[in-house]
Structure 1
Amino acid sequence: MKKRVTKAIFPVAGLGTRFLPATKSIPKEIMTLVDRPLIQYAIDEARAAGIKEFIFVTSRGKSALEDYFDHSPELETALRKKGKDDLLQALKTTNMDSGAIAYLRQHRPLGLGHAVWCARRLLADEPFAVILPDDVIAAETPCLQQMVEAHAETGGNMVAAMEVPSDKASAYGVLDIKEDMGSVVSVKGMVEKPPTGKEPSNLAVIGRYILTPNIMNNLHKIKTGAGGEVQLTDAIAQEIEVSGNVYGFRFRGQRFDCGSKAGFLQATVAFGLAREDLRDEFSQYLDEMMATQNAAQ
């Protein structure tokens, strides 16, 4: 019987330098996409997938992130007195039960693999998820939920993957495909940021993973790789060699790279237009803006 995935690691120790000066005083993960912080989208996706325990790997200066998930009795009381039940309900989605969330410090910026390894003592002999909040995915069925359902059939290690143009593949970890089974592919190799023209496929890894406990053993043994960091890709690649149990999953949905300014703006437009309460006014503004811009040209 395969074990259920009930724990997720959220690596949120990065400095967010691409968003300075905003991130000088606030963690990038609580920058708002429409009216919810990036981290809330990740948490909601994890909850939909059946995650019960949330592990945050943080660093200095991230206390606002911890406060965000705490209860706010004064604010809740004020909203209740004013009869603002809709806002009170929205606030409840940000609350975490005692013991459901844990915070660990990554004291040195040694990469994604090292951040995941920092959580090793909070994991038993069970599969676990890793979610990178920078990757926001708009999907009818949340991405991690799709993966958990597929993982129930395959077991092993699974990475979310999407098709990218060949000239963009050098910015990603790229899968070398052994067998293509549609939404699921078995993997015979992974290449981190291949040189243009050398990519084994155009199927790129993005920030959702379901991993076996043995990944932690691999991370423990790995020396620093590309960029002087411990690469999670290297630990997964070892499992391909030893167990051959690594799969890519073509998720259904649209991914936005909210770690970049352009991606964040694109996500803001897409999520804004998806909202019934904003769609008409916002789309009218965008139409008028484009008309003005085209007329100026």
Structure 2
Amino acid sequence: MGLNVATRQPLTGVAFHRTLEHRGGAWWRLVVSAVLGVIGLLAMSLASLFAVLGAARALGYDNFAIDLTDGVSAGELLGANLGLALLIPLAGALVWGLYGVRPRWLSSHRPGVRWRWLAWGVGISVLVWSIFLVLGTAGAFLVRSEPVDLGVWSFLAVVVFTTPLQAAGEEYLFRGLLLQALGAARLPVWVCCVGSGAIFAAAHLQFDASLFADRLLLGTVFAWLTIRTGGIEASIAIHAVKNVAVLIPAGLLDDVSAALDPSGVTWLPVLVDVVLLSIAVPCILAAHKRSYQVPPRSRAIE
């Protein structure tokens, strides 16, 4: 059982999650992909945090420290987001090393990123989550008792410019590599979607029932949407916009820790996500149907 780094042509004319199906040894490759992917997620997040710490110290910020018990600073969020963004090359390396397939096939069945379609997905997601973002931001400004200082503006800049990279990194791992790895094992489409969602939820290491259910819901819907649209662009768009819409109000309220690791969570966030996804997903599917030929479905529904 060794790694095959030779380049192979993946299956074409099949649903996105079946792209890697022609390779033998699908089950051990699936297990190795999942284990190395999750380990890589944790390792790269920690390494990036310490890299930001080292850079801050080198630039003369001697008081900068990693202390997540005292809120989440702009530097800490930068480190975490950049670490998760590194999942993009990690997923590419794993699909090339384990399956011998070039990384661009993780993006879409074209292959590669369909930038125009990604822009459509972002636009639709912004429209759907705009009410949440506007109301949350306005409420945060009304509640905030102190002026918005440089630290807050720095945090908001990190959110806007690096959260999309964080979302893309997670999508390349969970809806790119692992969804295709599940499909290569010839599992039914619903198992592939739920399996990808379950690994995504578990990787957050937060097992409160409502939190886990919310991540499972998001991961499962993202996987299904990826299969229906033939690529991960729509899931990247929703994931990025949703996270930005949550983190901007949280940053203004200096309550980012509660947003990233909430306690005493109710089922309301799950209900909110169900409502917003029930609006966004049909809109995205309708836009995709108008813009692209529907991806092959002969083996998508089993």
The TM-score range, normalised by the shorter chain, is under 0.3
TM (norm. structure 2) is 0.24
TM (norm. structure 1) is 0.24
Judging by fraction of residues, say which structure has more helix.
Answer: 2
Higher relative contact order (CA 8 A, sep 6+): 2
Judging by fraction of residues, say which structure has more strand.
Answer: 1
